[in-house]
Each structure stands twice: as structure tokens, then as C-alpha cells.
Amino acid sequence: MTENNNNDNTGDGANQRVVGTPTDTADVVTEVPAGAESEHNGPYLASETHPRGEEQQRRGEKIASLWFILAFLGGIGFIVSYFLFPPTAEGPAIADPQISQYSNMLLGGTLTVALFGIGAGMTVWARNIMPHYEVASPYDEMPSKEEEKSSFSDFFMKSADESGITKRPLMRRTLIAAMLPLGIAPIVLLRDTGPVPGDLMKHTRWADGMRMYVEGTHRYIRAEDLENDPYGMISALPALNDEEYPHGISLNDQAKSVILLIKMPEDDWKDGMDSPVREGSDETHLNWTHQGIVAYSKICTHVGCPAALYERTTHRILCPCHQSTFDAADAAKVVFGPAHRALPQLPIGVDDEGYLVARGDFNEPTGPTFWEYAKD
Ligand code: FES
């Protein structure tokens, strides 16, 4: 059915909207004659309706079904294409540009076939099975009249019947089959969100007794290294010594575990250092320092930039991304900016050989706050 918005002035001056493709010969019905009995429950008269012949409907059903089968195969192909390139030990397969190109072409091609098949099938359906209407009706006032509202459901049901969806099981089933893979596809794509992280984001690999080294080197840090600079600051990483990584630590572990070691005169500590590191804990932030050295996460609690601009005279740590500012002398509390929680603190001490070591993990998850974030 097509719609033709020919506005026309009839004799009584009412604007007319012509719906449907006017034929050369047939008179377009411009309004329902008064008292005419409709053979429909809907707004169209029998004289306005051009049902399709049974032969045309049968042929249409077959062609539409073929399109739907093609769409079904396209949808299945889309899901299969997604799994064709499984991730490797180095990471997602599509990190390889060549594989990414093949993957994109296959996913795009199969999705095109699936969507085009459904669209083409529905077009054949509408043009060969559903009846064609030619009607013109006067513009009505808004809202719809009561009788129009009440006739809508009857008309809807009648249209469903006329569409052949109930009478044409082959086409109906193939259409459902064609749409099924596309309905499932978004669920399959959830695989890209990766494994459920569990409490992975709540902890780092810092552990009791673990040494630390200067970022970019394998030189362990001694407490004396900061002695000569009473306002010093160093970025440091846990000495994980993971053999499979060139620097002994994966990028993921670096991103979560990197710390700022800050030295300051102990007279500069503020009251916040006497507060418990966690709710209900006996240990204070000061207990977690070592001879004026404190260790904070370097990852901004706003959205995770490295917060490493340190103003030594005020002990302010500034994040360059959105200017969140933390007070290193006051348990790294936020003093300015969009971050809303302090930088987590790492408990530190020294081992028998005088190297700085962690005495456990951070007091809170590092980095931006996430949905499942909760203080342990
Ligand atoms: S990420 Fe640090 S202030 Fe936004």
C-alpha cells in the first residue's frame, strides 16, 4: 500500500488525503457514502480493497520464505563469524589488523545478508499477500473519534488476518527463524565484556614483604634513598619479577599497583594521619608510614589518570586530567576537584636488608570508584 498525499478541494471545501496508488480507470472513493454498509470491520469498504489472487499469494509466500531462509543463514553466519577468530594468549585476535579486517568483513557481510533478507522478505510479503487499498478520506479533527478508536482493534485483527501471517505457516516460521539469530546475537556479543572480574578490581598484587623498585628500572628502593631529600617523591612498582614480562610486571598490574613514595618532615603530618585506615581498624594512616615516607596509589580516584604532579612545599598531589588535588600530608584526602575519595594508601616498612617493602595491600581499591566498590 502506498500513500499519496494529494490535497484536494472537494466541492464542500474539505481537504482530502488520498491514500494508495490511484489507478487510471477506477474512481477514487473520496468518502464513505452516508448509510453505506461496510463489509469490513475497519475503515475500508470492500470496493476500496484489492485482494491478491491465491496464486499470487502462494508464489509470494514461497519467495518471501526463501528470503527469510537466506536471512536465517546470514544470522547464523554472523554468529559463526564472531567465533571464527578466538582470542590468543597475546590477547584478542582482532588486535591483529589483518584478522580484524577479515572479521569486520565477515561480520558486516553476514549481518547485511540477514537484515536485507528480512527486509526483502517483508517487502515481497506486503506486495503479494496483503491486500492493496485505494482510499481517500477527509482530514479529521484530532483526536480520533470514539467510533474510530473502537474500530481500531477490530481493524487490527482483521489486518492481521489479511496479512496471511496466520494462514501461511511456512512463511511465518521462516520469518521467526530469520529473526531468531539476530535476537540472540546481542547476547552472544556480551562475551566481549570478558570474564566476570570477581574481586579482581578490589585487590592488587602487593603483599606483605614485597619489595618495590623505581618505575622503569629493577633497582630496589631503600629507605635511605629518600633520606637526602626530605621532600622527595618517587614513582614505584611492586617487584613482582614475573618472568613472562620484559619489565617483570604486566601492564595490568602496573596500572593498578603503581605508587607514589613521598618523603616529608614528620612535623608536617596533619590530623587525618591519625585516623583509622579503614572503618573499625586500630591502625592509623601514620602507622602505615615509615620514617616520614608514605606510599599512596598513583591512580587518580576520579577516572584513573596518573596523579603524579607533586607540589613539595604544600604536599599537594595534583592530577593533570581534571585537576583533582590530594593532600599527601593528610591521608591523601581530596582538597579540590571532581575526585570524591582519597588516594588509597599502601602500608610500608623495611625488610632485614633495609629495603622498603609493602606490609600488605592497599586499604581500598585503587583507581576510579566502580559499581561493586565497597570498602572491605
Ligand atoms: S582523572 Fe584525575 S581528576 Fe579526573
Could you tell me the distance, in angstroms and rounded to a whole number, from the CA of residue 362 to the centre of ligand 1? 20
**Which atom of ligand 1 has the smallest separation from the CA of 323?**
3
Could you tell me the distance, in angstroms and rounded to a whole number, from the CA of residue 368 to the centre of ligand 1? 9
Q: Is 308 near ligand 1, meaning CB less than 6 Å away?
A: no
CA proximity to 271, closest of 330, 343, 316, 334:
330
Q: Which three cell numbers stand for residue 179?
A: 529473526
CA proximity to 184, closest of 82, 284, 91:
82
**Which atom of ligand 1 has the smallest separation from the CA of 304?**
1
Could you tell me the distance, in angstroms and rounded to a whole number, from the CA of residue 347 to the centre of ligand 1? 24
Q: Is 337 near ligand 1, meaning CB less than 6 Å away?
A: yes
Chain centroid to Cα 136, Å, comes to 47
Given this model, what pLDDT does residue 297 score?
97
DSSP string, 155-168: HHHHHHHHTTTTT-
pLDDT tens digits for range 243-288: 888 778 888 888 999 999 999 988 999 999 999 998 889 999 999 9
pLDDT tens digits for range 2-53: 344 444 444 444 444 444 444 444 444 444 444 444 444 555 666 677 888 9
Given this model, what pLDDT does residue 18 score?
47
Q: Which DSSP symbol is given to 79?
A: H
pLDDT tens digits for range 95-135: 677 888 888 899 999 999 999 999 999 999 999 999 887 76
Given this model, what pLDDT does residue 89 score?
65
* Average pLDDT for 206-213: 94
The domains of the chain, with CATH numbers, are 4-193 (no CATH), 200-358 (2.102.10.10)
Q: Locate the DSSP E strands across 204-305.
A: 212-214, 233-238, 259-263, 293-297
Q: Is 368 near ligand 1, meaning CB less than 6 Å away?
A: no
**Which atom of ligand 1 has the smallest separation from the CA of 322?**
3
Any idea which of 244-258, 282-296, 325-339, 348-362 has the lowest mean pLDDT?
A: 244-258
Could you tell me the distance, in angstroms and rounded to a whole number, from the CA of residue 288 to the centre of ligand 1? 25
CA proximity to 45, closest of 145, 153, 134, 138:
134
Q: Is 302 near ligand 1, meaning CB less than 6 Å away?
A: yes
